[in-house]
């Protein structure tokens, strides 16, 4: 029933459960239990997990957890049945629709938005993931198009390759033989999964929806599948069941990192990222550099292929960059959220990464030092977060802009900002510092409060500057110049 993924059935099911009920949802339930004296954990948990929590000293309401788990499985079984019915209806619709377009030889990019599509500026360039892939020497050869599932998106072009909406990653079955075989499989799968669930064997009921997509892959003509499937790293835990069958049939499954990410070093040493990445088993990882590749190898216990491809462009906007003074520094920060919107435990949290004190001091120090040297500060924030932003931080940015700091639109490609400036200062440990290094610009991480260790491997070999005096020394050494009016870069 699980197809090629049957060989990894336990891991697939564990990933799927973690993706749906792990993370903050489970953490909140556990923390609520610990914070409420005598309050038992009530959460949909399989028996093995209930046993583990009990062994670790948690009070677990076993009956209520078991009932919640049974309800969880029932909901997913119903969901699976509905998805199968949708597949059957789509097959009927496809059968009677004339001129069903062929996808040809294509690569498919999953779970993107319009910001990820090519949006060339006046110079014709775009720094999006499709354009990066079109430039990449390791891409599939002989492609006719690049496909995505962004509804309503206009057609675009990346280095001569059409970028077009094709719908879901897996096309519907169009051959009568395939449709009949899927119908027979669906009837058997629904009945079997229901009986298994009643006997306490919940795996097939939980994975019914995923099994239906995998069955479609097995029944499609090979030419209907993408040559490359590119999966971004924003939801890394679960590797979809259908990817095992697609890989078996010749497609490449490429898990790519559109940014770098690593826990910083604590005074007591490094913490592992295995809590988040350990269960992953993607067959191929596209990473930025050796540091990034070593991180993946440390935390994932399998024989996955790690390929170093350099920085991967991801999203961009078509807002033109304003004129930038000839003596300027690109500054990349991370907006702090309002505390009421954040609840996390991590190394970065331990180091006050999410504290507005850090981010505000980061901006204030840079502004002071650059003004001392008559250098313009060009600030690009990570992304717009609306009213989730910390109010003190938002007020500081507004004041800096009034005082002459150039605040660029967050959708602007960071590469364009870096190209227009003389150097790069990034908040730790954001990927823009690596982009600056790749562009041949002096690039540092600035730590205003001195909480980051200079030998931290999360810096990827980029210099860590701590405190305003070290920042002054770096600016004087790298960018210092005599008095004079700023020129404008045209």
Residue 204 located in a structural domain: yes
With contact defined as beta carbons under 8 Å apart, do 229 and 139 qualify?
no
Asked if pLDDT for residue 102 goes beyond 80, the answer is: no
Among 280, 308, 336, give the residue marking a domain's end.
308
Give yes or no: residues 414 and 441 share one domain.
Answer: yes
Whether residue 245 sits in one domain with residue 208? yes
Say what the alpha-carbon torsion angle 207, 210, 216, 221 is, to the nearest 10 degrees.
-120
Number of C-beta neighbours around residue 355 at 10 A: 15
- Angle at CA of residue 275, ends 272 and 278, nearest 5°: 90
Q: Provide the pLDDT for residue 483.
A: 44
Pair (282, 368) in one structural domain: no
Do 216 and 68 lie in a common domain? yes
Retrieve residue 236's tokens: 């890394």
Q: Would 439 be classed as within a structural domain?
A: yes
* pLDDT of the residue at 211: 96
pLDDT digits (tens, 9 = 90+) for 168-219: 999 989 888 999 999 999 999 999 999 999 998 999 999 999 999 999 999 9
The domain that holds 406 is classified in CATH as 3.40.50.2000
Count Cα atoms within 13 angstroms, Cβ side, for 108.
Answer: 23
pLDDT of residue 346 exceeding 80, the answer is no
Q: Does 55 lie in the same domain as 16?
A: yes
Lowest mean pLDDT among 53-57, 93-97, 113-117, 266-270: 93-97
pLDDT at 487 exceeding the cut of 60: no
What does pTM read for this prediction?
0.90
How far apart, in whole angstroms, are the C-alpha atoms of residue 349 and residue 355? 8
pLDDT, tens digit, 9 for 90 and up, residues 210-242: 999 999 999 999 999 999 999 999 877 899 999
Distance CA 278, CA 429 (A): 21
Is 46 a domain residue? yes
Who contacts 187 (Cβ-Cβ below 8 Å, separation ≥6)?
none
337 and 295 co-located in one domain: no
Q: Which two tokens stand for residue 78?
A: 């119903």
At 338 the pLDDT is 61
31 belongs to a structural domain: yes
Last residue of a domain, one of 284, 308, 332: 308
Quick one: pLDDT band at residue 101, thresholds 50, 70, 90? low
Which pLDDT belongs to residue 71?
A: 96
- What would the two tokens of residue 232 be? 């971004």
**Block residue for tokens 């009213």:** 387
What value does the mean pLDDT of the chain take?
Answer: 89
Average pLDDT rounded to a whole number, residues 255-259: 95
Angle between helices 62-96 and 208-219 (to 10 degrees): 30
User: In terms of residue numbers, what domain contains 367?
Assistant: 324-489
Taking the C-alpha atoms of residue 446 and residue 322, their distance in angstroms, rounded to an integer, is 25
Look at residue 102 and tell me if it is in a domain. no
Closest of 227, 231, 233 to residue 247, by C-alpha: 227
Distance CA 303, CA 281 (A): 9
E strand or H helix at 444: strand 443-447
What CA–CA distance (Å, rounded) separates 146 from 103? 9
For residues 39 and 181, membership in a common domain is answered with yes
pLDDT, mean of residues 451-462 = 93
Specify whether the CB–CB gap between 359 and 365 falls below 8 A.
no
Domain boundary among 308, 340, 356: 308
pLDDT for 440 beyond 50: yes
Shared domain for 283 and 330, answered yes or no, is: no
**328 plus 471 within the same structural domain:** yes
Strands (E) in 150-292, as ranges, are: 156-158, 161-165, 228-232, 252-256, 284-287
Top-confidence residue, 388 or 256: 256
For the record, the structure tokens of 152 come out as: 């309503």
β-strand partners of 255: 231, 285
**Confidence band (pLDDT; 50, 70, 90) for 385?**
low
Share of the chain above pLDDT 70, in %: 91
**Biggest CA-to-CA distance, the chain:** 81
Predicted local confidence at residue 482, as pLDDT = 46
Residues 32, 92, single domain; the answer is yes
Q: In the chain, how many domains are there?
A: 2
């Amino acid at each position: 029933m699980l197809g090629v993924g049957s060989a990894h059935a336990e891991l697939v099911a564990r990933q799927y459960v973690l993706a749906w009920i792990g993370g903050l949802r489970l953490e909140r339930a556990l923390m609520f239990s610990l914070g409420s004296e005598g309050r038992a954990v009530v959460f949909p948990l399989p028996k093995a997990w209930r046993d583990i929590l009990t062994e670790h000293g948690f009070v677990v309401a076993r009956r209520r957890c078991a009932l919640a788990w049974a309800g969880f499985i029932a909901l997913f079984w119903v969901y699976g049945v509905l998805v199968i019915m949708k597949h059957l209806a789509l097959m009927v619709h496809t059968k009677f629709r004339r001129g069903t377009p062929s996808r040809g030889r294509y690569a498919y990019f999953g779970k993107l938005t319009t910001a990820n599509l090519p949006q060339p500026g006046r110079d014709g360039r775009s720094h999006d993931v499709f354009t990066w892939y079109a430039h990449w020497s390791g891409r599939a050869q002989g492609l006719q198009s690049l496909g995505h599932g962004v509804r309503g998106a206009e057609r675009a072009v990346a280095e001569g390759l059409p970028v077009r909406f094709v719908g879901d990653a897996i096309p519907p079955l169009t051959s009568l033989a395939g449709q009949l075989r899927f119908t027979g499989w669906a009837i058997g799968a629904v009945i079997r999964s229901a009986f298994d669930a009643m006997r306490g064997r919940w795996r097939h009921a939980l994975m019914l929806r995923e099994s239906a997509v995998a069955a479609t892959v097995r029944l499609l003509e090979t030419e209907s599948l993408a040559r490359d499937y590119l999966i971004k790293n924003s939801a890394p835990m679960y590797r979809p069941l259908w990817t095992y069958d697609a890989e078996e049939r010749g497609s490449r499954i490429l898990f790519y990192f559109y940014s770098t990410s690593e826990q910083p070093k604590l005074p007591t040493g490094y913490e592992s990222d295995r809590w988040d990445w350990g269960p992953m088993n993607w067959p191929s990882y596209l990473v930025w550099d050796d540091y990034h590749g070593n991180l993946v190898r440390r935390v994932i216990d399998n024989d996955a292929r790690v390929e170093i491809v350099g920085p991967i462009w991801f999203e961009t906007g078509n807002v033109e960059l304003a004129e930038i003074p000839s003596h300027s520094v690109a500054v990349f920060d991370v907006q702090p959220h309002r505390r009421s919107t954040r609840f996390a435990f991590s190394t970065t949290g331990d180091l006050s990464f999410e504290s507005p004190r850090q981010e505000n001091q980061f901006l204030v120090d840079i502004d002071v030092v650059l003004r001392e040297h008559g250098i313009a500060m060009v600030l690009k924030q990570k992304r717009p977060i609306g009213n989730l932003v910390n109010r003190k931080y938002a007020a500081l940015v507004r004041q800096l802009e009034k005082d002459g700091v150039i605040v660029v639109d967050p959708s602007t490609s960071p590469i364009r900002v870096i190209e227009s400036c003389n150097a790069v200062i990034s908040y730790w440990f954001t990927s823009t510092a690596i982009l600056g290094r790749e562009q041949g610009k002096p690039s540092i991480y600035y730590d205003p409060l001195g909480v980051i260790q200079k030998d931290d491997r999360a810096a990827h070999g980029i210099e860590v500057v701590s405190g305003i005096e070290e920042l002054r020394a770096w600016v004087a050494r790298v960018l210092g110049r005599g008095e004079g009016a700023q020129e404008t870069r045209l």
